[in-house]
Amino acid sequence: MESRVNLYGASGHSKVIVDILLSKNFIIEKIIDDNPKFDTVLGIKVHKNTNVDFDHNLRWIISIGNNKIRKLLSAKYNLKYITAIHNNAIVSNFSTVDEGTVIMAGATINPDVRIGKHCIINTNAVIEHDCIIKDFVHVSPNASLAGGVIIGEGTHVGIGATIIQGVSVGKWVTIGAGSVILKDIPDFVTIVGNPGRIIKNKQENE
């Protein structure tokens, strides 16, 4: 199986992905970035995008934490995207993880979970049985989703947030750190607190 991979995006988030890939014996050919702030990431050379000819025969991961940017780049570049799952993550054989998604150390993904494209399931996050995580979602460290939760496209679940069973969260929602979500959430809102309360209604293009 082809073990070479490229990353799009040089940042703190890319460091975690590099670490995962190297631990799984992938060869990282290059890291590219539109506006590089570093020459290297964990010893891997960073190239400016304008100087790179995309190799469509290689596999890629978009190593950028911003959900909206990941969506834009995945639409712009029709590349072969792979998943990266840390060796210390627990991922049920009865769950599915789509292309471009990364799962960090200590995360737990239980049976019949469906995780979409280009998601981030961060360190020690818990995704319980029968949850549906749609594309471009970021579930932050130590966040916990009880059984049957649905998370809409592009939503960011903040660090340490808790969502009780059966709740549906809309698309492009921001859930604040430590929030406790007890009922369904509409699209395009920011919600914080315990219990969670909406503090902002966002526009679709925000």
User: Are residue 95 and residue 20 in the same domain, yes or no?
Assistant: no
* Residue keyed to tokens 């993550």: 89
Contacts of 27 (CB under 8 A, 6+ apart): 3, 4, 5
**202 occurs within a structural domain:** no
pLDDT tens column, 169-197: 999 999 999 999 999 999 999 999 999 99
Domain boundary among 81, 97, 132: 81
Q: Is the pLDDT of residue 1 over 50?
A: no
Mean pLDDT of the chain: 93
Q: Which domain holds residue 21?
A: 4-81
Q: Are 48 and 101 in contact (CB under 8 A)?
A: no
Domain check: are 133 and 187 in the same one?
yes
The set of residues, in sequence order, having a beta carbon less than 8 Å from that of 58 and lying 6+ positions away, is 2, 4, 5, 6, 29, 79, 80
**Residue 174: which CATH number?**
2.160.10.10
Query: What are 97's strand-pairing partners?
Result: 115
- Select the highest-mean-pLDDT range: 54-58, 73-77, 154-158: 154-158
Asked whether residue 96 falls in the same domain as residue 134, the answer is: yes
Same domain? 103 vs 169: yes
Q: In terms of domains, do 107 and 40 share one? A: no
Is the pLDDT at 2 greater than 80? The verdict is no
Which of the 8 DSSP states describes residue 173?
Answer: -
Is 206 contained in some domain? no
pTM above threshold 0.85: yes
Same domain, yes or no, for 135 and 156?
yes
In this structure, of 96-105, 128-137, 147-156, 195-204, the range with the lowest mean pLDDT score is 195-204
116-139 pLDDT per residue, tens = 999 999 999 999 999 999 999 999
Which residue matches tokens 């029968």? 130
Q: What is the mean pLDDT of residues 34-53?
A: 85
Q: Which of 118, 117, 98, 123 is nearest to 15 (CA)?
A: 123
Q: Are residues 101 and 57 in the same domain?
A: no
Does residue 86 carry a pLDDT above 60?
yes
Of the residues 24, 57, 81, the one at which a domain ends: 81
- Just list the catalytic residues: 129
Q: Do residues 47 and 112 both lie within one domain?
A: no
Q: How far is C-alpha 114 from the geometric centre of its chain's CA atoms?
A: 13
Tell me the chain's radius of gyration from C-alpha atoms: 17
Beta bridge partners of 45: 40
CB neighbours (10 Å) of residue 57? 9
